[in-house]
Structure 1
């Protein structure tokens, strides 16, 4: 996707530096290991790998830093040994228990929750900072009540550190949000609320979207889908605005961000004060107030937001005050995404049940509910216990824009433009791979295991960055295929699109999880539009896009042998690969363009705004109701 941006907003350097500093201090105080891990992921992978070398070497005398360094460098086997050794060795002195506590922090940060429990099982009462460690352990698993109790005991005993006191206040407030706390503009507006409801005049064909992140600062599937839909609405003649969450994008390192971006006719507005409120409720109220002000300036006729429920609560409150309709677009159940990285018991936790409960609540309140596909619509009906039925959910599938309409370039030309040799990828080789976020549920370990079954003429390419990369690189070394598995790391948007076309087979080996059964990835649609045959896991959401033997091949999830065989079939029969790729392109251009999705969305806007206009007119004619 090529973006056409106009530099219209200002860069508030001083304010942004203060926000970055306050955010860094907050995270260093409340969860330093996770903060260090997040910083390493923001750096170029080669740089973080080099910087982690001295950290990893320090693990004999500084286990916290050393364990983090081992993980960043992909030496998770050594990290496992470090955890095991710490549990086996007798803990007599307080420094021995502190060693275990610090290693438990690392275990939690790298999703090794079993080790975290073993390392914290015998921490003595009164150990400094242990309340915060135990709270993070229990919060990770969704046991929010126990996390709060650990910190309360530390505070009441007089042993809580300043960071643990802040941690307690933050977790109590965040827990309340999961149990019903919502933004309330009454105190902000006062007596003006009634006047606003009666005098607000929306501008026709104007929409304001509320987003978690966006281009040009984020190139995730979420951000790209958002911009594709919004820019298609702008091309259709609508005045399209978007507002991102408070603190974005400065908090993710984009200090040079402007307070406003105009990209392809879409105006993006930012909320980046010098310091954010410390609590979730404070940030929620800030978001609602800023959105209200933005609405009074742009006067949208409809508000449109995406998962999760926090965005929906903010939008619902502003829409209530202004008397305009709002749309809730479900792109996944983030409770399921959260649970996918944890033991199965997490699905019975307080956090998971409260999370799905809040989602159900906002789904029932929205004027329109949209979803990526039928599997997700079924999930919506399930979590709302039938209050929002499958037939009531409007489908707004992933699609492609005008840049995919032209006939794809020859693969050889694309590879030359990429200069694939700089990644040690042979220009003339058979390339199998994916363009993705490198996270566990994508099943990329199965792709690497499949690589070990292929002849040396096939090269695997994993384009993207993510938390699972160090472990995957180590797996490739263990299997002896490190020279045939290429990790490009983070690439530009243009390079990501080129890589889609440069591959001979596009692979989506997702694991079987609640989140993967419901979410149809955008990358499959884009690969299809690029005329590249797809081999993917046989999951409900993926089956909505890939027809086995027609537009691609489906294989059982978490089965490297079947995955390997499917790729070998296309390697041996290039004619079949070509036919599947062409059929996939034809299907996408026929059914999955952003112009068509935007037209359907705008049609629904028109219905909602017409109904709202009639209702406002009725209220004015009969003010006593």
Structure 2
């Protein structure tokens, strides 16, 4: 049972988890830990911290300077610093600089440093192992630590992740399974097994989850949710409780003073705690989302208690990982193993849900009949269904210049969003559109690089960045834009995953420009509900933007047609109807005996 601790005891347990997590990361990869900490700071504090480190100077402090450039997203300065130090840096300093370069997505220069440094140097084997791991070379990373390094924490961590990636783990013991004998589910109760959630993050993932929970409740079901092991304490929320209630929806937390070492043992710990919660709450169906880590834990618990489980594919995380590396990443061992686990998850689930047709085709290629895949596209609700406010009023409330022309996005600021192409398009337009501004609402790893790029393009005075904003302000920021832009790069992940942000912009009656990619073409009809533009082509984007900005009537008609389509076709209520039908088909609407079978698998798809 997931017992609630008194507030002081819970904070003490959370503090223990935080200290142990920080200690683990500090010992495994201190450079990545430092970058993650700085990236979670508010934008101004992050910039100040990065600049302070970058100003540390050369000599013994060169590693700190390199870390500052990495945190600030200045690859040119980072590369120049490292090359200036190569001839005079000690072997240990070269190893530390290589670690910074690998963490900063500059592995080629890291390879140069490590190749020119004696392999017996302190920390060399760990740095080379991290370099292999960055490239998805799992066996090579372990081999380096086995033949050159000392048996230690990093090798143990890589071994454990390798065991998890190769599959076949037994997560629950016979004793755990015996506890589930005689399980009686509560009809119409659904437990969503999530990665994260409101109120501790406002990500698109969390927004979608919450919208679906509310909509299925309106459809007559009783949804609750639980987030991943250790979350949100691991992201710095020390005062997290064992449960939160948001709009009447209960979100459970799986909190413990310490996580077990190794990914394989941690998955087993996750499964045991989830089983405790399931035995307490008695759901009739479990519903989880990508990626495969959620799936294997959910599957183990569902099989133990004898209820069906649903796997919702919201993205292609292997492709997301590969998008920050070169094309060879898709040929790596890590990518292949990751994809194998995802394929196994969709084939073993009692039902599969996904966001769009492109993703459904990929799932079908893994062996799930296309007719059995339920589409649950991203949608809108709440404030986005209300009559949109006037743009000038929205800008006034947000403190923006009412007379300016705003193009931009409300999004996570990551490289595959292609916002560098938007800045380059803005630089093309800037000389003839003096009132043009680029508004980027959100935060992410690519924000420092984009700020630096704006300086290089001479439009830093045109760039407005907000960092993370409260989710209640998102509709206002959508309405404040003259043109909403989704200039995504042409990658596997962007060709198949349909994002939520253009739908929210369309519901806000904003003319919406998107990259001409298959997933985005599913939601934008070119010239009718928006404009599709060739990806990674700043000149084409500049031309499309100027056409819309120069024709207010056309812009208005695009926005009105977009809103009409979204309101008619893409609401959370319509998705809830699909879920209700799916859950009923799985037998979760009525009382029924659910004794686990001899194999632990009481259902087959389509039963």
Q: TM-score range by the shorter chain?
A: over 0.9
Matched, 1:373 2:361: no
Q: Corresponding residue for 1:450?
A: 425
Q: Corresponding residue for 1:173?
A: 160
Judge which range, 502-511 or 231-240, deviates more: 231-240
Contact 1:9 1:261 in 2 (8 A): no
* CA distance in structure 2 between the aligned counterparts of 1:524 and 1:390, rounded to whole angstroms: 26
Alignment of 1:124-163 (within 5 A): 124-155=118-149, 160=150
Q: Corresponding residue for 2:466?
A: 488
Judge which range, 11-20 or 528-537, deviates more: 11-20
Task: Provide closer, same or farther for how the CA distance between residues 238 and 427 of structure 1 changes in structure 2, counting only shifts above 3 A.
Answer: same
Matched, 1:353 2:336: yes
Matched, 1:112 2:106: yes
* CA distance in structure 2 between the aligned counterparts of 1:79 and 1:57, rounded to whole angstroms: 12
Q: Corresponding residue for 2:438?
A: 460
* CA distance in structure 2 between the aligned counterparts of 1:369 and 1:375, rounded to whole angstroms: 14
Q: Corresponding residue for 1:3?
A: none
Matched, 1:438 2:413: yes
Task: Provide closer, same or farther for how the CA distance between residues 8 and 509 of structure 1 changes in structure 2, counting only shifts above 3 A.
Answer: farther
Deviation of the 1:613 alpha carbon:
6.5
Q: Corresponding residue for 1:25?
A: 23
Q: Which secondary structure state, in structure 1, belongs to the residue aligned with residue 84 of structure 2?
A: helix
Contact 2:305 2:594 in 1 (8 A): no
TM-score (norm 1): 0.91
Task: Provide closer, same or farther for how the CA distance between residues 313 and 180 of structure 1 changes in structure 2, counting only shifts above 3 A.
Answer: same
Q: Corresponding residue for 2:72?
A: 73
**Given the alignment, which residue of 8, 13, 22 partners 1:15?**
13
Q: Corresponding residue for 2:604?
A: none
Deviation of the 1:434 alpha carbon:
0.2
* CA distance in structure 2 between the aligned counterparts of 1:443 and 1:295, rounded to whole angstroms: 42
Q: Corresponding residue for 2:236?
A: 253
Q: Which secondary structure state, in structure 2, belongs to the residue aligned with residue 311 of structure 1?
A: helix
Q: Corresponding residue for 1:471?
A: 449
Please report the RMSD computed on the Cα atoms of aligned residues, expressed in angstroms: 2.0
Contact 2:54 2:69 in 1 (8 A): yes
Task: Provide closer, same or farther for how the CA distance between residues 185 and 482 of structure 1 changes in structure 2, counting only shifts above 3 A.
Answer: same
Alignment of 1:277-316 (within 5 A): 277-316=260-299
> Gapped runs of 5+ residues in structure 2?
599-607
Instruction: Deviation per CA, 1:80-110: give whole Å up to 9, x if none.
Output: 21233344x2x6xxx6222221111111111
Q: Corresponding residue for 1:241?
A: 224
* CA distance in structure 1 between the aligned counterparts of 2:392 and 2:331, rounded to whole angstroms: 51
Matched, 1:540 2:527: no
Contact 2:306 2:595 in 1 (8 A): no
Alignment of 1:175-214 (within 5 A): 175-189=162-176, 192=178, 196-197=180-181, 199-214=182-197
Contact 2:506 2:566 in 1 (8 A): yes
* CA distance in structure 2 between the aligned counterparts of 1:555 and 1:605, rounded to whole angstroms: 39
Contact 2:185 2:591 in 1 (8 A): no
Q: Corresponding residue for 1:273?
A: 256
Task: Provide closer, same or farther for how the CA distance between residues 538 and 615 of structure 1 changes in structure 2, counting only shifts above 3 A.
Answer: farther
Alignment of 1:559-574 (within 5 A): 559-574=537-552
Q: Corresponding residue for 2:601?
A: none
**Given the alignment, which residue of 390, 393, 401 partners 2:370?**
390
* CA distance in structure 1 between the aligned counterparts of 2:495 and 2:449, rounded to whole angstroms: 24
Deviation of the 1:265 alpha carbon:
2.4
Contact 2:286 2:310 in 1 (8 A): yes
Q: Corresponding residue for 1:121?
A: 115
Instruction: Deviation per CA, 1:302-331: give whole Å up to 9, x if none.
Output: 000000011000111111111111100000
* CA distance in structure 2 between the aligned counterparts of 1:264 and 1:247, rounded to whole angstroms: 23
Contact 2:50 2:72 in 1 (8 A): yes
* CA distance in structure 1 between the aligned counterparts of 2:423 and 2:212, rounded to whole angstroms: 34
Q: Corresponding residue for 2:605?
A: none
Contact 1:206 1:238 in 2 (8 A): yes
Task: Provide closer, same or farther for how the CA distance between residues 9 and 604 of structure 1 changes in structure 2, counting only shifts above 3 A.
Answer: farther
**Given the alignment, which residue of 607, 610, 614 partners 2:585?**
607
* CA distance in structure 1 between the aligned counterparts of 2:301 and 2:35, rounded to whole angstroms: 36
Contact 1:9 1:259 in 2 (8 A): no
* CA distance in structure 1 between the aligned counterparts of 2:424 and 2:586, rounded to whole angstroms: 51
Deviation of the 1:291 alpha carbon:
1.0
Judge which range, 486-495 or 543-552, deviates more: 486-495
* CA distance in structure 2 between the aligned counterparts of 1:618 and 1:68, rounded to whole angstroms: 53
Q: Which secondary structure state, in structure 2, belongs to the residue aligned with residue 490 of structure 1?
A: coil
Deviation of the 1:51 alpha carbon:
2.0
* CA distance in structure 1 between the aligned counterparts of 2:253 and 2:597, rounded to whole angstroms: 34
Q: Which secondary structure state, in structure 2, belongs to the residue aligned with residue 369 of structure 1?
A: strand
Q: Corresponding residue for 1:48?
A: 46
Task: Provide closer, same or farther for how the CA distance between residues 59 and 103 of structure 1 changes in structure 2, counting only shifts above 3 A.
Answer: farther
* CA distance in structure 1 between the aligned counterparts of 2:551 and 2:305, rounded to whole angstroms: 60
Contact 1:181 1:281 in 2 (8 A): no
Matched, 1:335 2:318: yes
Task: Provide closer, same or farther for how the CA distance between residues 617 and 474 of structure 1 changes in structure 2, counting only shifts above 3 A.
Answer: closer
Judge which range, 369-378 or 107-116, deviates more: 107-116
Task: Provide closer, same or farther for how the CA distance between residues 417 and 9 of structure 1 changes in structure 2, counting only shifts above 3 A.
Answer: farther
Q: Corresponding residue for 1:423?
A: none
* CA distance in structure 2 between the aligned counterparts of 1:505 and 1:537, rounded to whole angstroms: 14
Deviation of the 1:597 alpha carbon:
0.3
Q: Which secondary structure state, in structure 2, belongs to the residue aligned with residue 107 of structure 1?
A: helix
**Equivalenced residues, count:** 590
* CA distance in structure 2 between the aligned counterparts of 1:618 and 1:371, rounded to whole angstroms: 28
* CA distance in structure 1 between the aligned counterparts of 2:124 and 2:219, rounded to whole angstroms: 57
* CA distance in structure 2 between the aligned counterparts of 1:616 and 1:257, rounded to whole angstroms: 34
TM-score (norm 2): 0.94
* CA distance in structure 2 between the aligned counterparts of 1:127 and 1:215, rounded to whole angstroms: 46
Contact 2:407 2:483 in 1 (8 A): yes
* CA distance in structure 2 between the aligned counterparts of 1:231 and 1:113, rounded to whole angstroms: 44
4+ residue runs over 6 A deviation: 611-615, 617-620
* CA distance in structure 1 between the aligned counterparts of 2:7 and 2:168, rounded to whole angstroms: 34
Q: Corresponding residue for 1:623?
A: none
Deviation of the 1:369 alpha carbon:
0.5
Q: Corresponding residue for 2:602?
A: none
Matched, 1:497 2:466: no
Matched, 1:103 2:103: no
Q: Corresponding residue for 1:508?
A: 486
